[in-house]
Structure 1
Amino acid sequence: MTALNALFLLAGVLLFISVLASTVSARLGLPLLLLFLVVGMLAGEDGPGGIRFDDFSMATLVGHLALAVILLDGGLRTRISSFRVALWPAAVLATWGVVGTALLLGLFATWLLDVDWRLGMLLAAIVGSTDAAAVFALLRNSGVRLNERVKATLEIESGANDPMAILLVTALVEMLLMPEQASAGRFALMLVSQLVIGGMFGLVGGLVLARLLVKLKLAEGLYALLIVSGGLMIFAACNLIDGSGFLAVYIAGLVVGNRRCHATEHVLRVMDGLAWLAQAGMFLVLGLLVTPSQLLTHGPQALLMAVFLMLVARPLAVLTGLLPFRYRPRELAYISWVGLRGAVPIVLAIVPVMMGIPDSRLLFDVAFAVVLVSLLVQGATVPIAARWLKVEVPARDEPFDRREVWVGDKASLDLLEYRVAAGSRAEGVHPDDIAAAHGELSVRCVSLVRRGRLQALQRDTRLQAGDAVWFAAADAYAEPLASTFNAGASNELSANARFFGEFVVDPDCPAVDLAQAYGFEIEAGEASLALRDLMLHRLGRRVVVGDRVRIGSFLLTVRDMDEAGRVTRIGLKCPDLSEPD
């Protein structure tokens, strides 16, 4: 019992320190996952903790379990509309992107390390895929709002590229240990099996879980446990019949998350904590596993490989893969840069060690060092690169908080909280007057909180700076209401005005009418097109919020879209504020 309690104490202390370190991470602009890794390394045999941990089997178990939970959570939070925008580009990156990166990096590693080409290719295959844990965590906590095309491409790629990485590692391990059994046909069959079985398992399992979520009446906390346990069942069962459990659990989460019901909000709230726990535990264990003194031995080679990966291999693979999809050069550059490496390469690097591959410890140490460099350099510059390459979209005016109250199996009510900013249009106004101005009977004030106390609404009630007001309103009213309460903070609105333009125009407006009103010319074949169709014609691809088209000396920018992917509002930017796209 003493040893068991000591283990619990150690686990609690490490997690506690890691969570406290998150405040330091935010101030320094470093990825939180990197802090978890560093805490694990400091607790290891070369650090002050002095803990000797070299159980690769345990690390593999923790890694696979954590990745299953992280991918399930990532699927739950991915909207199906993202697939309409980026399914095929992301699929290309999840296959050719991994292969192309591994080929280029493998040739470089073989030359740099002076090893057998199969060993060089194995090292490249280990670090060739982007990491879902790193991508999901950094994109959602970086503070930037990327345009949907870039964001969806990165998230779907990272959630779907594990089968290709696992196949490459498995194939190269076989070529090193059992070259007589290795064949292109066998590996092709293995890939098809991974993708088809994983996709089918995820789809069917997700539909079953979504159906159970609607039908079962459980305590609130049990809904998330139902989804987690179901996701782990899908993950393990799919792996047992040679499918990709990682792909299956991601698709299962995607299906459940997009079939919203009364239990979805409970699931998402609990899953958020479980995903963070999985990430923290996994990176702590992987940090304990590595010996920093050995990393320094191969530090120069690892640094050169990381630089080649970030600046040559990944960009070339992205460029050749996405060329047919008409991405802008800035978008290609950002997707290339945010090819984050994380837990998956480290977990894959354990495979050669456990299989007894010669020089496998070299592969593990170099792969770990590459991950450290990727998190430190690429991870820390995610928001900076987004602003520099202009792939971010200004943040919307949003409620301070929101709650979803389900009043039936398929009917929900949104409760939106707003804080009254000093100098805003809401200050000095009755809440019911604000509701009437926006939605007549569709918006209702349900509570007013002043200095932490609930206030009864009277006829002479007037809002004061710092008040918290809750409205029952549909999601369509969320942004207009927010603009009333946030108008005193002019920075966000000026950023929106600079980006989208001073005016909003109807996307169904004929382009010729706008041309006549503002006195500019359009191409002859576009005279009969509505503005929405003109933008589609000019861009030649699915549009997302933030896409721009220059018409005459004006700039049209997609401002809003509905769930079906139709443009609902377009911003018009005047010539004196326009800037090159």
Structure 2
Amino acid sequence: MSNINLIFLIVSVLLCLSILATIISARVGMPLLLVFLGIGMLAGEDGIGGLSFQDFEVAYLIGHLALAIILLDGGMRTRMKTFRVGLKPALSLATLGVVVTSGLTGLLAMLIFDLSLLQGMLIGAIVGSTDAAAVFSMLGGKGVHLNERVSATLEIESGTNDPMAIFLTITFITLLMNPGDDWYSSLILFAEQFGIGLPIGILGGWLFAHTLKRLDLATGLYPLLVTGVGLCIFAGANMLGGSGFLAIYLAGLMIGNSGSRHLLHILPVHDGLAWLSQIGLFLILGLLVTPHEMLAIAWPATFLALGLIFVARPIAVVLCLKPFFHFSWRELGFISWVGLRGAVPIVLAIFPIIAGVESAGLLFNMAFYVVLISLLIQAAACLGWPSG
């Protein structure tokens, strides 16, 4: 019993500290997700808390649950008009853009860390996608004012690029563990991620949205029902081989645009759930990392992060958007800069550890360091970007 109470005490203290730290974050202009991550690291074994947490499977589970809730909330807050405006450029970035970013970053990692080609491509795939939690948090922050097309492109990209990142990560893990395998099975995996996740998300969300209008429940039950149905769609898509992340984002989109009067009660509660998910996710990831192990790779990982931010992401954005969608150079610059990395790369970096890939610990620390640099440089600078 005393151990249970100790766990409750630690969790409640960390939650309260994270929430109160948002006041300081707002005053000094520090990204909130970096604050949550920092508190987790301070509570960890190298910090003042001294807590030892190395359960990657638990972190993997919590990471998936938290990201699902964040994407559900993000989908419900995306207007269908906005979705139509930004869909085509966002899908270009979510597919080809992830491939280009991952490839260039992987080549850079191979050169900097003296890795094999497949190891370099694996770290490129892990950090190749933007993060929904980081992007939604930044776009919803004070001081960020964007035109609709840019905002829509960034939101939809971050909500739909996980299937490509997962596909690339699993592909390179498979090739590293089984060098004789071909690409055919990997291409089937990619087709399944999109081909199953997309219809399940749209159809499941549409059916529930119409059912929601006919229900008469106690006010407090509607948000819980939406959460339950969203997680059912998420889990069902995953079990069938599709992308649960894509499915739950699209389900949220359908629910949020249903015009149901119950959304008045649902959205405020889900705002709190999304915040709780972000705080819990980044606290866990902060506890998971061992900072002194990152010191050995600090300089090369910094060069890798800067290469991703200033070379790989901008090239991918220009190639995907400039020839087809006629964004201005100023808009392209902002979209390039808001290629924020966050929880998704760290969660993906757990995949090689669970699979038993050689040097998986190094890959995890590299991904974590890239996320730190991204939040330190990109998110902080975005808050001061001129309106447009």
Please, what TM-score do these two structures have when normalized by structure 2?
A: 0.99
Q: Where does structure 1 lack aligned partners over 5 or more consecutive residues?
A: 394-581
Matched, 1:210 2:209: yes
Write out per-residue CA displacement over residues 413-444 of structure 1, whole angstroms, 9 at most, x where no aligned residue.
Answer: xxxxxxxxxxxxxxxxxxxxxxxxxxxxxxxx
Larger Rg: 1
Partner Cα separation in structure 2 for residue 278 and residue 262 of structure 1: 25
Partner Cα separation in structure 2 for residue 82 and residue 337 of structure 1: 21
Offset at 1:171? 0.1
The one-letter amino acid of 1:223's match is Y
Aligned positions, number = 387
Partner Cα separation in structure 1 for residue 152 and residue 71 of structure 2: 15
Match of 2:107?
107
Partner Cα separation in structure 1 for residue 224 and residue 249 of structure 2: 16
Offset at 1:78? 0.1
Matched, 1:264 2:267: no
Match of 2:198?
199
* Greater share of residues in helix: 2
Structure 1 residue ranges, 4+ long, deviating more than 3 angstroms after superposition: none
The one-letter amino acid of 2:123's match is L
Offset at 1:85? 1.3
Partner Cα separation in structure 1 for residue 83 and residue 53 of structure 2: 41
Offset at 1:173? 0.2
Partner Cα separation in structure 2 for residue 142 and residue 339 of structure 1: 19
Matched, 1:300 2:299: yes
Could you say what secondary structure the match of 2:63 adopts? helix
Match of 2:155?
155
Partner Cα separation in structure 1 for residue 15 and residue 338 of structure 2: 27
The one-letter amino acid of 1:344's match is V
Matched, 1:129 2:125: no
Write out per-residue CA displacement over residues 48-100 of structure 1, whole angstroms, 9 at most, x where no aligned residue.
Answer: 00000000000001000000000000000000111221111000000011000
Write out per-residue CA displacement over residues 19-49 of structure 1, whole angstroms, 9 at most, x where no aligned residue.
Answer: 1111111111011110000000000000000
Match of 1:354?
354
Q: Is the 8 A contact 1:142 1:382 kept in 2?
A: no
Offset at 1:260? 1.4
Could you say what secondary structure the match of 2:260 adopts? coil
* Greater share of residues in strand: 1
Partner Cα separation in structure 1 for residue 353 and residue 221 of structure 2: 39
Matched, 1:237 2:236: yes
Partner Cα separation in structure 1 for residue 88 and residue 197 of structure 2: 18
Q: Is the 8 A contact 1:87 1:153 kept in 2?
A: yes
Match of 2:49?
49
The one-letter amino acid of 2:289's match is V
Offset at 1:181? 2.4
Write out per-residue CA displacement over residues 297-318 of structure 1, whole angstroms, 9 at most, x where no aligned residue.
Answer: 1110110001000100000000
Q: Is the 8 A contact 1:171 1:182 kept in 2?
A: no
The one-letter amino acid of 1:42's match is L
The one-letter amino acid of 2:143's match is G
Partner Cα separation in structure 2 for residue 321 and residue 261 of structure 1: 36
The one-letter amino acid of 2:57's match is S
Matched, 1:246 2:245: yes
Could you say what secondary structure the match of 2:345 adopts? helix
The one-letter amino acid of 1:216's match is L
RMSD of equivalent CA atoms: 0.8
Partner Cα separation in structure 2 for residue 175 and residue 188 of structure 1: 13
Q: Is the 8 A contact 2:143 2:384 kept in 1?
A: no
Partner Cα separation in structure 2 for residue 208 and residue 54 of structure 1: 41
Offset at 1:144? 2.0
Q: Is the 8 A contact 1:301 1:366 kept in 2?
A: no
Matched, 1:344 2:338: no
Match of 1:77?
77
Match of 1:166?
166
Could you say what secondary structure the match of 1:220 adopts? coil
Write out per-residue CA displacement over residues 204-234 of structure 1, whole angstroms, 9 at most, x where no aligned residue.
Answer: 1101221221111111111000000000000
Match of 1:117?
117
Match of 1:288?
287
Partner Cα separation in structure 1 for residue 315 and residue 261 of structure 2: 45
Could you say what secondary structure the match of 2:213 adopts? helix
Partner Cα separation in structure 2 for residue 91 and residue 279 of structure 1: 25
Say which structure, 1 or 2, has more relative contact order (CA 8 Å, 6+ apart).
2
Please, what TM-score do these two structures have when normalized by structure 1?
A: 0.66
Partner Cα separation in structure 1 for residue 23 and residue 145 of structure 2: 21
Offset at 1:105? 0.8
Offset at 1:2? 1.1
Q: Is the 8 A contact 2:29 2:383 kept in 1?
A: no
The one-letter amino acid of 2:9's match is L
Q: Is the 8 A contact 2:56 2:350 kept in 1?
A: yes
Partner Cα separation in structure 1 for residue 298 and residue 219 of structure 2: 49
Equivalence map 1:13-24=2 (5 Å)? 13-24=13-24
Q: Is the 8 A contact 1:174 1:182 kept in 2?
A: no
Partner Cα separation in structure 1 for residue 204 and residue 157 of structure 2: 21
Offset at 1:141? 1.2
